[in-house]
Amino acid sequence: MPEICTLIFDLGKTLIPFSLDPLQARLEGCREAALDMVRRFEAGALAPESFQAGMCELTGLSAAAFAPWWNSIFEPRWLVEPARLRRLMRRYRTGLLSNTNALHYAFLAEQQPLLGEFAFRILSHEVGATKPDARIYAAAEAAANCDPAEILYFDDIPEFVAAARRRGWQAEVFAGPETIAAALSARAAELYRRV
């Protein structure tokens, strides 16, 4: 098992908690159309203005009410303590790999300045591809600036972890902060056994 050079984290439900529950009532009767629009927006195929106008038309929301509703999915806390993340950042090149959209990321970046401290951010709407598409992983590999086998990736979605492993990454399903400590400890022990 190669030594880890770069840590990559998913964002939603790995670093920052969210729930789609606050959106559900407004999506009654237009769920499929809204989900299709969200998929295109996350893949960078819709501009923020077009997305907002389309969602307001579908849901009956006013332009002024849209942003509070759209961003209400996030909880104002971290699933991994910021102090722990900063310690990891001092030891490893650390980045983000997220299926997200321009409006959600702009909101989070303003609310959570720590996001600006990551060495790189690979965001689906900027790359034009969402996980598990190979293109978004390739973009992350280029930003990681190391061999894919030297990447350790954490994501709460097993399908996305499996896609990373197929590319030769070391990857773990995130089940809480203890996942990070356990993964790094196991790899350190393996390296120790080989010396």
| Tens-digit pLDDT profile for residues 26-78 | 999 999 999 999 999 999 999 999 999 999 999 999 999 999 999 999 999 99
Question: Residue 137 above 60 pLDDT?
Answer: yes
Please state which CATH number belongs to domain 6-17+76-194. 3.40.50.1000
Delimiting residues of CATH 3.40.50.1000 domain(s) in the chain: 6-17+76-194
pLDDT, mean of residues 92-109: 98
- In whole angstroms, give the CA distance from residue 17 to residue 101: 16
Which pLDDT band, with edges at 50, 70 and 90, does 194 fall under? low
| Spatial distance between the Cα atoms of 32 and 10, rounded to a whole number of angstroms | 25
- What's the sign of the alpha-carbon dihedral 162, 95, 85, 2? positive
Alpha carbon distance 91, 89 (integer Å): 5
Q: What percent of the chain has pLDDT over 70?
A: 96
Rounded to whole angstroms, how far apart are CA atoms 7 and 150?
9
Average the pLDDT over 172-176 and give the result.
97
- Residue 187 pLDDT level (bands cut at 50, 70, 90): confident
pLDDT given for residue 195 in this prediction: 43
